[in-house]
């Protein structure tokens, strides 16, 4: 999953083939809500994925946080119940940290119950 300046791209790699969804959106808030809707739609394969990579194609700027509620970040993750590895772009970590901080204790594991590893790209 890659956030671009005017669009968002979701690439699903399946053995020898790839399936790419692209959504052209004006603002960052629209990108996040559009991706949350796509992930929450009838894509049953998402619950079986083990690895998810969410990154930004360019450095994020502070104004990107406006217009995006913390719950929208979590809505993107909800369908990925089998996810064991999550890789976040360095610029996205702050948004997911804020969203997860709003959850109380055990509710964090409801979002990603199988998560074992969290990687921050650019810090590895």
The percent of residues in the chain predicted with pLDDT above 70, rounded, is 83
**Domain membership of residue 17 as a residue range:** 2-121
Average pLDDT over the chain, rounded to whole?
A: 79
In order of 25, 58, 67, 95, the CA distances from 83 in angstroms are 27, 25, 27, 19
Pick from 18, 1, 19: which is nearest to 10 by CA? 1
Q: How confident is the model at residue 76 (pLDDT cuts 50, 70, 90)?
A: confident
DSSP 8-state symbol, 9: E
- Look at residue 45 in the predicted model and tell me its pLDDT: 74
Q: How confident is the model at residue 7 (pLDDT cuts 50, 70, 90)?
A: confident
The dihedrals phi and psi of 90, each to the nearest 5 degrees, come to -55, -35
Q: How many folded domains does the chain comprise?
A: 1
Model confidence at 56: pLDDT above 90: no
> Stretch 80-89: mean pLDDT, rounded?
90
Tens digit of pLDDT for each residue in 88-103? 988 888 888 888 777 7
Report pTM: 0.79
Model confidence at 82: pLDDT above 80: yes
Looking at the chain, how many residues does it have? 124
């Amino acid at each position: 999953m890659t956030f671009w300046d005017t669009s968002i791209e979701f690439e699903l790699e399946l053995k020898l083939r790839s399936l790419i969804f692209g959504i052209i959106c004006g603002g960052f808030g629209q990108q996040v809500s559009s991706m949350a809707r796509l992930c929450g739609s009838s894509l049953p394969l998402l619950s079986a994925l083990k690895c998810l990579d969410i990154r930004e194609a360019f450095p994020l700027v502070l104004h990107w946080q406006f217009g995006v509620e913390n719950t929208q970040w979590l809505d993107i993750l909800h369908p990925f119940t089998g996810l064991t590895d999550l890789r976040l772009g360095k610029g996205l970590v702050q948004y997911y940290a804020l969203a997860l901080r709003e959850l109380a204790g055990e509710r964090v594991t409801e979002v990603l119950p199988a998560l074992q590893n969290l990687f921050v790209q650019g810090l590895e």
